[in-house]
Structure 1
Amino acid sequence: MKWTQVIDPFNNIVLSVLVAAMPILFIFWALIIRKMKGYQASLIATVIAALIAIFIYGMPVKLAVLSFSHGALYGLFPICWLVIMAVFLFNLTVKSGQFEIIKHFMASITSDRRLQALLIAFSFGSFLEGTAGFGAPVAITAAMLVGLGFNPLYASGICLIANTAPVAFGSIGIPITVASQVSGIPELPISQMVGRTLPILSIILPFYLVTIIAGFKKAREIMPAVLVSGVSFAFLQWFSSNYLGPSLPDVIAGLGSIVALMVFLRFWKPKTVWRFVNEPAPTFNTEISYTGGQMLRAWSPFLVLTMMIIAWGIQPIKDVLNAVGMIQFEVPGLHNAIQGKDGSLLPKVFKFNYLSAAGTAILVANLVVIPLIGLTYGEATKVFLSTLKQLRFPVLTIAAVLGFAYIVNDSGITLTLADALANTGSLFPFFAPVLGWLGVFITGSDTSANALFSKLQFATAQSIGVDPVVTVAANVSGGVVGKMISPQSIAVAAAAGDLVGKESQLFRFTVKHSFIMLIVICFITLAQAYVFQGVIPIYEMLSNQKTVVLPDLSKGYTYLLILAVVLIALASAILVITNKKTQKPTLVN
């Protein structure tokens, strides 16, 4: 028996929207006003959503339960799997003592908190977003900043806000690939359109981040460094998105801005070193120096992590790993049991890609680096168990949040809100980014938001005479500023930043910045639609004919062999250097 989604249960769109918005409004109230813990707010919001779905939208209880279970399962894998492995990697680095060397290295570049935030939260986080995505950048960079001595709230908050610039091109461009598949617009014009919107945000964001941390006056003190960071990132993001496509903008822009800022800081230093209020003065000891081998060993977890994640993002390697290690199944009782508004049945398939998941790439990196950083596997096992204990509440929160997201999507609650926005007529381009923002707030993923709303964005734009690539790209761009307040992202950042149980503080820290940036993108989109139409790329729609190409697995095996050789060479070099020299710091006379 099939159940058909209902979009306007009251036959009054205003009343339907008011009811549909209740679970989302509750989350805002619970975290901002009531200051609930993240998992409590998520679970109660899920109950509210389920009651509305069952009693207002007429969703069968069985389907509501299965929908929640499907979402919770997705929350556990691959999302929690990735977060656990990322935090485990950081904890290994701390346990081994290697993070002390990394802290010394960062202090040797600059002990100024403003500049450290630009290097790690903005540039390195963007690089990680381009390779891994799905929470890994925030988890790793927030943990690094806390390890460096940042206030945990600021560390987690600015990492969430910094993560806005790269999200659209995250995971080797997957969000834009999905938007293309759903809307029928080729990837390149969507990439170009997003690449003509987000660089504006990317130029502003470094100054915005430093202002949040230290205030406007202190941000002006390092304006040269801010401009180097923001302009280099924005230029490389614009160039790669417009001429190379959606796969590499984050990787290129992230690395480029790191190199540009580090080179610049060799020739320029701020007049004063800024630290947090009541924070001890910088403890950088100029009498201590580390050898190149010691530095290589200390950074080896992140070098191996980078290599693994880049490799896992290469399609031929993905094909091999999925061919060998993926189990997928139709969710019993839920698959094709819900009929959409257009009459199509909603497929509900769970893919357990246990080898190609990004979390598995980080697991392999962990196994490789354990002996390199001087730990035994027995010691690493104890670190892993303590990591699981550390993340028990974030895991519950993430599972609850994804269960909530699946219920509001499957029941039609999300579509009610989207339908109301789509009926705003000629003002729709202004509200198009709000759809993306809403989708990412609910699902925690720009990819999922694009899968949900790209077709609606396309059809609505056509109906009002606006080029659809403007609104489809706006869905992508609007989604990026919803990431910082998504309950899923908040849970990940809280876990990494040692703020478990204080998710409401983190939400209040980021929410106003999300709205400010969303309004900026709304006005940019409106201007692109009606005023600056010259920025819209010329393109042809994709053909409806689909060709099935069998993957060439031999190429993937070759790449895996190359990866193994490179890892062995790196590990051997580190072990040889370690055996030749003691790992104690050298005192400079």
Structure 2
Amino acid sequence: MMFILALLPVLVILSLMLGLRWGASRAGAAGYLTALTVAIAAFGAGPQLLAVAHGKALLLTIDVLFIIWMAFLLFRVADEAGAIKTIGRALPHLTTDKGMQALLIGWVFASFLQGVGGFGVPVAVIAPIMGGLGFAPLAAVVIPSVGHSWAVTFGSLGSSFNAMMAATGLPAGVLGLPSALFLGAAGIGVGLMVAHAAAGWRAVRRLFVPALSIGVAMALGQYIAVRAGLWNIGAFIGSLVGMAVGFPLARRFRGEMDDNGKLDLRELGIAISGYAALIAITLGIQLIPGVRNTLGQVRFSL
């Protein structure tokens, strides 16, 4: 009975959002009121406990918001510099095959954007690109919406995973690897779904091997990153590995056109240089004990 009561706020939010199509803010407010009522009526929470709980929730919100703001700032700087447009223009030149375009842009590139941005960025950036490539409007929206879903937990510089650790009280060493395994398996399924959304079951059968290869590569990349303690860029690393595997495969599925255009590797290299700097900084913080210990001394607790 207590388990059901504890789960009730989550059920209320899901019911309102999925059943009644409420927005996240309204459903979240209803879930909060439900949790407050259950805490007082069923679990006997007093004023002191409620004050501490609200204080910890505020600190958690600030912690997660800081990650979100920094991730979005990185994306906006890269976008204003033209990096996102450059990468988006480069990918279609690899192949004219609709299925492979969907895999590279709507799955791999969407995961990349989720890794460094998130919060609607993958769909906002990729849907117009896919529409310009001739995809139907519905497919242009559905493909990136599905394609980036597996990268949410370790995306946005790990904001969702950070929130999960704070909410459960469990460290990254306990939650990280199981999450990476489940999400990696889900990512492979997502790739097949993207292929189906692009061109039906025929595309799934035809592109099964490249989709499986890219999916396994991204899953392994993310798993290795999480195992190394780099969970905040896990989805980002996984998507980069997916690009490294997907680009050569795309050249084998060029489509019917003989001339797909040429990639400007220098321009592409400049476009991804900011993200290379992100990897270098993250590795430096995680792997250099002096830097990690110094930065780790700054903390707020309640």
What is the TM-score when the length of structure 1 is the normalising length? 0.39
Q: Distance in 1 between matches of 2:42 and 2:142?
A: 39
Match status 1:264 vs 2:215? no
Counting only pairs closer than 5 Å after superposition, residues 466-485 of structure 1 correspond to structure 2 as none
Q: Is the 8 A contact 1:125 1:162 kept in 2?
A: no
Question: What is the aligned partner in structure 2 of residue 25 from structure 1?
Answer: 11
Question: What is the aligned partner in structure 1 of residue 300 from structure 2?
Answer: 328
Counting helix residues as a fraction of each chain, which structure ranks higher?
A: 2
Question: What is the aligned partner in structure 1 of residue 276 from structure 2?
Answer: 303
Q: Is the 8 A contact 1:146 1:152 kept in 2?
A: yes
Partner of residue 33 from structure 2, selected from 32, 36, 47: 47
Question: What is the aligned partner in structure 2 of residue 366 from structure 1?
Answer: none
Q: Is the 8 A contact 1:121 1:142 kept in 2?
A: yes
| Matched AA of 1:305 | L
Q: Distance in 1 between matches of 2:294 and 2:246?
A: 38
Q: Is the 8 A contact 2:10 2:31 kept in 1?
A: yes
| Matched AA of 1:314 | L
| Matched AA of 1:225 | P
Partner of residue 93 from structure 1, selected from 74, 78, 88: 78
| Matched AA of 1:100 | K
How far does residue 42 in structure 1 lie from its aligned partner after superposition? 0.9
| Cα distance change on mapping 1:162 and 1:117 into 2, 3 Å | farther
Partner of residue 108 from structure 1, selected from 90, 93, 97: 93
SS in 1 for 2:118: helix
How far does residue 157 in structure 1 lie from its aligned partner after superposition? 4.2
String of CA shifts for 1:324-347, please: whole Å, max 9, x gaps.
Answer: xx1434x2xxxxxxxxxxxxxxxx
SS in 1 for 2:300: strand
Gaps of 5+ in 2: 132-139
Q: Is the 8 A contact 1:90 1:143 kept in 2?
A: no
Larger RCO (CA within 8 A; separation ≥ 6) = 1
Give the root-mean-square deviation of aligned CA atoms: 4.1
SS in 2 for 1:269: coil
Q: Is the 8 A contact 1:138 1:156 kept in 2?
A: no
| Cα distance change on mapping 1:202 and 1:149 into 2, 3 Å | closer
What is the TM-score when the length of structure 2 is the normalising length? 0.70
Q: Distance in 1 between matches of 2:230 and 2:77?
A: 29
Counting only pairs closer than 5 Å after superposition, residues 136-155 of structure 1 correspond to structure 2 as 136=116, 138-139=118-119, 141-142=122-123, 144-146=125-127, 148-149=129-130, 151=140, 154-155=143-144
SS in 1 for 2:244: helix
Q: Distance in 1 between matches of 2:212 and 2:28?
A: 39
| Cα distance change on mapping 1:63 and 1:153 into 2, 3 Å | farther
Match status 1:66 vs 2:55? no
| Cα distance change on mapping 1:80 and 1:179 into 2, 3 Å | closer
Q: Distance in 2 between matches of 1:46 and 1:213?
A: 39
Q: Distance in 1 between matches of 2:125 and 2:196?
A: 21
Q: Distance in 1 between matches of 2:183 and 2:76?
A: 34
How far does residue 295 in structure 1 lie from its aligned partner after superposition? 3.3
Counting only pairs closer than 5 Å after superposition, residues 298-447 of structure 1 correspond to structure 2 as 298-314=271-287, 316=289, 317-323=291-297, 326-329=298-301, 331=302
SS in 2 for 1:328: coil
Partner of residue 56 from structure 1, selected from 16, 33, 42: 42
How far does residue 304 in structure 1 lie from its aligned partner after superposition? 2.7
How far does residue 63 in structure 1 lie from its aligned partner after superposition? 2.1
Structure 1 window deviating more from structure 2 (140-149 vs 108-117): it is 140-149
| Matched AA of 2:42 | I
Q: Distance in 1 between matches of 2:211 and 2:250?
A: 11
